[in-house]
Structure 1
Amino acid sequence: MFIYKNEVPCNPNATDEVKAVLKYLSEISGKGIITGQHTQTTVQKELAYIQEVTGKLPALCGFELLSYSPNINYGNASEECLLEVNENKNTLDNAWDWVLNKKGLITFTWHWFSPFGSWDKGFYSENTTFDAAKAVIEGTDEYNALISDMDHMAEHLKPFYEKRIPILWRPFHESEGKWFWWGHKGSDIARQLYRIMYDRYTNVHQLHNLIWVWNSPLPEGYVGDDVVDVISRDLYPLKHTHSDLKTEFDELVQITPTNKLVALGEIGVIPSIPQLSETKIPWAWYMTWSNDFGSTDEWTSKEELYKAYHHDYAITLDKLPGFYR
């Protein structure tokens, strides 16, 4: 198996902590996989469930930023939407606790309520009139609103840079699909949106603590090696179907000939850790999705979860080296 390693950050001004994380990810390539779990509420029932079942915690915790979107249309939102937003508020407090007290890795997902023209869950393309194709054109109302939202989020990210906390940053996720507004107008528009953010966050806001994670398996939409540290994809196999996901890995790495690190940005069931230990398919990490995916045995049995977290190939929180001061 060809081992995927890439220690050099795409951002030439990346912090030493970013370099340390990328070096570590390269070192474990084909030797282990980082366990990860997404949490979208401050209760973090997924972590409590994992600890109850396994006695351990994942090395990587994912946090949702949807409630930090500055243009949520509260006046035209369903009870389900309002509950999701309310339960998601202050998740960055949990992220701070995770890095400062537990010393774990963090990754952020932003279900971005569109900059304007939305109702209900406005990150879905069906719930907004916002035109992403216009947002990549300087001078348009859409572009100005896009930049305003990006700048708003940058202010929430800056304290992490000031404390030199590396973030696995996965913007415009699942851009190969039409379901989110950033992917609705096609992969080329999504690619341009990503590059606008990379330039804004790297050169204007100087967020040099971000590890840039591209999240789409389509070769024609790949954003480019110069702005990517890790390539990733999201997968939702059938319930209780655990494998090394070799086919999906082989598809993903076709998007670039460059030796990039490779990850499972989201997954519904955990991969087979025992099988990975044999085949050495070098997924750097996986992140199980939240709610029933990560807090019940509906998708992954308790036995499978326990077996995974206690396998030598699995990197859990207690095995993670320190990356922070």
Structure 2
Amino acid sequence: MVDSVIGLDALVASLRAAGEPTRLRILALLAGADLTVKDLTTILGQSQPRISRHLKLLTDAGLILRAPEGAWAYYRLTEDDAGARLTDQLLMQLDPADPTLARDRERLAAVQRAHAEAAAAYFAANAHAWDAIRSLHVPEDAVEAAMRRLVGPKPFQTMLDLGTGTGRILELFADLFDRGLGIDASAAMLSVARVNLAKAGVANVRVRQGDIFALPVPPESYDLVSLHQVLHYLEDPAGAIEEAARAVRPGGRLLVVDFAPHDLEFLRAEHAHRRLGFSHDQVSGWLAQAGLDTVVVEDLTPERASPADLTVTLWLGRDRRTLVADGTATERLETIG
């Protein structure tokens, strides 16, 4: 394909950028984690200006990407097909037993342990709020089992999790997709997600900071997009679904998980909930406006079913277009049920 090859000048520039010991070590480190300048100065033992210059050269050559996140910026390997393939080929030639690379991995592990300690402190400070809400609805493992059942066992290429929080939903589906991305507005929660995903050994996922109403992703680029317990925090849930649907590939799916309508006002007053749940027709209507057919709606009700308990509802929408042989999209003639 034309967009997956590299021109002569660009290839030479990429090889020159990668063909230096420190920059090659940086590429090897970024293959295992998204890292900041501070992380890399700690691991590599070099000054901030020197590391920043190496990162600029790699970025200019299209081998890595810079993702601002609050006051920080995280660096990661490029997602461009041609650049990613070139980087993969270069890193495959490296001997993992090389003493320098082994030492870098040890220092990376130490940096990740420090991040884990900070994330654990943040999580502990906020856990009471999440525990209070979890106690009101069916156990999380029941919700996750229902999500897996609705999505099904068939593998797919790409997943986008919006409001990713701790990264749990990406971890839940990691065995099904080739590449996953989590978006969250909170830098603190993204730190938690990075630690959790690394601890779980999930290597095919990255997370980044972003606005759920202006997603930093190309349109029509994900097979599955998820919004798990996100809509009730938003002033404009319909707008969030519309923006999420923009990222869904023809024939792809959008999975929404949230609360059914309820009267627990304390969630609005004490836990920043903007909406007290959503009806079946409300979310299905938003999916339809965004060009998605509602395939399944399912309620999960606590066994006690008291007025103080919450019902969790799952909606699965599917893009009503399908790909044809030439790679273009066409409208399906009938709704998939």
Q: Which has the higher helix share?
A: 2
> Shared fold (TM-score greater than 0.5)?
no
Give the structure, 1 or 2, with the largest relative contact order (CA under 8 Å, sep 6 or more): 1
The two structures have a TM-score, normalised by structure 2, of 0.26
Q: Which has the higher strand share?
A: 2
The two structures have a TM-score, normalised by structure 1, of 0.27
Structure with the greater alpha carbon radius of gyration: 2
